[in-house]
Amino acid sequence: MPITILQHSLSSHILSLLRDKTTPPERFRALTSAVTRLLIAEATRKLPSRIVTISTPLEETPGQQISVQIVAVPILRAGLGMLDAALEMLPDATVGYVGMERDEATAIASAYYCKLPPLENAHVLMLDPMLATGGSAGAAASELERTGAQQISLLCIVAAPEGVARLAESYPKLQIYTAALDRELNASSYILPGLGDFGDRLYGTL
């Protein structure tokens, strides 16, 4: 399973600010959008494109346009923090939503909400800022595949080795793009060094 870790001084700078526990929610949201734009740029680098003729104010010139339909699918709720930036970069993308919840007794994730556009022949960008155990991402990928998705990329801001390994075993074709591959999970399945609960920091529900 391919994994791409951003190698960029700007993404490292943004990630340091996101990790800082003193960063307030309003700045945290802006930083999330900024690093999402970098992830989108990397995840779309090799998508197929077609040559088109563009009329500039001065003359006609050849240009390139992405030739595959893109569907952005944030995983609720934290993935919503990445959606606006994704649509700014890809205004023609369509949007689906998957809400995941984990059974506290079994720790198994399942979908409680799913609203998706047609996924056949589309490239799906799954937006989930934290890849921890891989349970939610794997369950969401299953839901997307069941609905017809064949090409799925996961965009996350921080990933844990345990989650990457789990997805590599269950979904070897899934492509992961992340700003950082952190050290490990703790006993409570929080990523270390991580940045805390992403949704709480995003929305100020600490």
Active site residues: 102, 106, 197, 200
Tally of residues, the chain: 206
* DSSP secondary structure letter of residue 188: T
DSSP string, 65-102: EE-SEEEEEEEETTTHHHHHHHHHH-TT-EE-EEEEEE
Distance CA 40, CA 24 (A): 24
Label residues 93-120 b or e (16+ Cβ within 10 Å = b). bbbbbbbbeeeeeeeebebeebebeebe
Cα-Cα-Cα-Cα dihedral of 5, 127, 68, 58, to 10°? Answer: -80
Spatial separation of the C-alpha atoms in residues 31 and 18, rounded to whole Å = 7
